[in-house]
Structure 1
Amino acid sequence: MPAGRRILSRLQTSSYSSNSHKGMGNGLSDDREVNAIPLATLAVLPKHANMPEIPGDTNMSFEAMLYIFGVIVMCMQYINLYKTVWWLPHSHANYALNFYLIDPYLAAFLCLLMSRRLVWCYIHEVYGSRQARGCIYWLVQISKLLLMVTVISALFYTGYHVLINHAILHCLFLCCPIATYGFLFGPSLKPLYQKNLNWPSPVLERPPLFHQKSKDGSERDLFLFHNCVLTPDIVREEVEILRADFNNRVKQVLFNSMLTAYYLTFVPLCFAQHIQNNCDTCWNTLYYDTWWVGQHVFLTWLSTFLMLCAHFLPPKYLDLMHRCALHLGRWQKVEGRHAHVPYNAWSELQVWPQGALVKHVKGLFKADGINVTAEPGNSMHGRFFFLFHQPLRVLNWMLILTWLLVGYQFFCLLQCGDWSHIICMALVLFCNYYTLFKLLRDRIILAKTYREEDKITLG
Structure 2
Amino acid sequence: MPSGRRILSRIQSNSYNSSSKGGNGSHTEDRDTNMVPLAQMAVLPKHCHLPEIPSDPNMSFEAMLYFFGVIAMGLQYINLYRTVWWLPHSHANYALNFYLIDVYLVLFLCILMSRRIVWCFVQEVYGSRSSKSVLFWVVQFLKGALLGSIALGLVYTAYMVVANHSALYCLFLSCPVITYVFLFGPSIKPLYHRCLVWPTSVCDRPRHKKEEEEVILFHNCVLTPDVIRSEVEYFKLDFNNRIKQVLFNSLLTAYYMTFVPLCFAQTHLNNPKTGCILICKKNTLYYDTWWVGQHVVVTWLSAFLMLIVHYLPPKYLDLLHRTALHLGRWQKVEGRHAHVPYNAWSELTVWPPGALVKHVKGLFKAEGINVTAEPGNGMHGRFFFLFHQPMRVVNWLLILTWLLVGYQFFCLIQSTEWNHIVCIALVLFCNYYTLFKLLRDRIILAKAYKEELSEDDR
Q: What TM-score does the superposition give when structure 2 sets the normalisation length? A: 0.92
Partner of 2:44: 45
CA separation in 2, counterparts of 1:93 and 1:321?
58
Letter in 2 for 1:165: N
CA separation in 2, counterparts of 1:458 and 1:264?
47
Q: CA offset at residue 22 of structure 1?
A: 4.9
1:118-129 to 2 correspondences below 5 Å: 118-129=117-128
Moved more, 332-341 or 101-110: 332-341
CA separation in 2, counterparts of 1:206 and 1:442?
22
Q: CA offset at residue 44 of structure 1?
A: 1.2
Q: CA offset at residue 138 of structure 1?
A: 1.2
Is contact 2:13–2:35 with CA below 8 Å preserved after alignment? no
1:379-458 to 2 correspondences below 5 Å: 379-454=378-453
Structure 1's 11 and 353: CA in aligned 2 closer, same or farther, altered over 3 A? Answer: closer
Partner of 1:139: 138
2:81 matched to 1:88? no
Which structure is higher in RCO with an 8 Å CA cutoff and minimum separation 6?
1
Partner of 2:275: none
Gaps of 5+ in 1: 1-8, 214-219
Structure 1's 197 and 268: CA in aligned 2 closer, same or farther, altered over 3 A? Answer: same
Letter in 2 for 1:97: L
Letter in 1 for 2:382: R
Is contact 1:348–1:375 with CA below 8 Å preserved after alignment? yes
Structure 1's 447 and 17: CA in aligned 2 closer, same or farther, altered over 3 A? Answer: farther
Partner of 2:5: none
Is contact 1:374–1:381 with CA below 8 Å preserved after alignment? yes
Is contact 2:343–2:357 with CA below 8 Å preserved after alignment? yes
Is contact 1:20–1:34 with CA below 8 Å preserved after alignment? no
Partner of 2:182: 183
Structure 1's 290 and 20: CA in aligned 2 closer, same or farther, altered over 3 A? Answer: farther
CA separation in 2, counterparts of 1:268 and 1:14?
67
Q: CA offset at residue 338 of structure 1?
A: 1.0
Q: CA offset at residue 337 of structure 1?
A: 1.1
Q: CA offset at residue 376 of structure 1?
A: 0.4
Q: CA offset at residue 45 of structure 1?
A: 0.4
Is contact 1:232–1:349 with CA below 8 Å preserved after alignment? yes
Q: CA offset at residue 319 of structure 1?
A: 0.3
Q: CA offset at residue 222 of structure 1?
A: 2.5
Deviations 1:52-110 (A, max 9, x none): 11000011000000001000000000000000001111111100000000000000000
2:239 matched to 1:240? no
1:9-48 to 2 correspondences below 5 Å: 19=18, 22=21, 29=29, 30-35=32-37, 37-38=38-39, 41-48=40-47
2:226 matched to 1:227? no
Q: CA offset at residue 282 of structure 1?
A: 3.1
Letter in 2 for 1:276: H
CA separation in 2, counterparts of 1:458 and 1:393?
15
Deviations 1:328-353 (A, max 9, x none): 00101111111111111111100000
Partner of 1:196: 195
Letter in 2 for 1:421: H
Partner of 2:61: 62
2:339 matched to 1:340? yes
Letter in 1 for 2:191: L
Moved more, 133-142 or 194-203: 133-142
Partner of 1:328: 327
Name the SS of the counterpart of 1:43 in structure 2: strand
Structure 1's 20 and 81: CA in aligned 2 closer, same or farther, altered over 3 A? Answer: farther
Q: CA offset at residue 133 of structure 1?
A: 1.7
Deviations 1:170-205 (A, max 9, x none): 000000000000000000000001011100000111
CA separation in 2, counterparts of 1:456 and 1:363?
31
Q: CA offset at residue 209 of structure 1?
A: 2.8
1:296-315 to 2 correspondences below 5 Å: 296-315=295-314
CA separation in 2, counterparts of 1:15 and 1:43?
19
Q: CA offset at residue 458 of structure 1?
A: 9.2
Q: CA offset at residue 210 of structure 1?
A: 3.5
Is contact 1:326–1:389 with CA below 8 Å preserved after alignment? yes
Within the candidate set 269, 278, 282, 2:270 is matched to 278
Letter in 1 for 2:362: G
Identity %: 68
Letter in 1 for 2:68: F
Is contact 1:318–1:388 with CA below 8 Å preserved after alignment? yes
Gaps of 5+ in 2: 1-7, 272-277
Partner of 1:216: none
Letter in 2 for 1:282: C
CA separation in 2, counterparts of 1:102 and 1:424?
18
CA separation in 1, counterparts of 2:376 and 2:76?
49
Letter in 2 for 1:33: M
Q: CA offset at residue 14 of structure 1?
A: 9.6
Partner of 2:274: none
CA separation in 1, counterparts of 2:235 and 2:227?
12
2:107 matched to 1:108? yes
Q: CA offset at residue 208 of structure 1?
A: 2.6
Q: CA offset at residue 17 of structure 1?
A: 6.8
2:290 matched to 1:291? yes
- CA RMSD in angstroms comes to 2.2
Q: CA offset at residue 127 of structure 1?
A: 1.1
Is contact 1:73–1:265 with CA below 8 Å preserved after alignment? yes
Name the SS of the counterpart of 1:42 in structure 2: strand
Letter in 2 for 1:268: P
CA separation in 2, counterparts of 1:268 and 1:457?
51
Partner of 1:357: 356
Structure 1's 281 and 32: CA in aligned 2 closer, same or farther, altered over 3 A? Answer: closer
Name the SS of the counterpart of 1:432 in structure 2: helix
2:243 matched to 1:250? yes
Q: CA offset at residue 18 of structure 1?
A: 5.2
Partner of 2:167: 168
More helix by share: 1
Q: CA offset at residue 429 of structure 1?
A: 0.1
Is contact 2:326–2:372 with CA below 8 Å preserved after alignment? yes
Partner of 1:3: none
Letter in 1 for 2:146: L
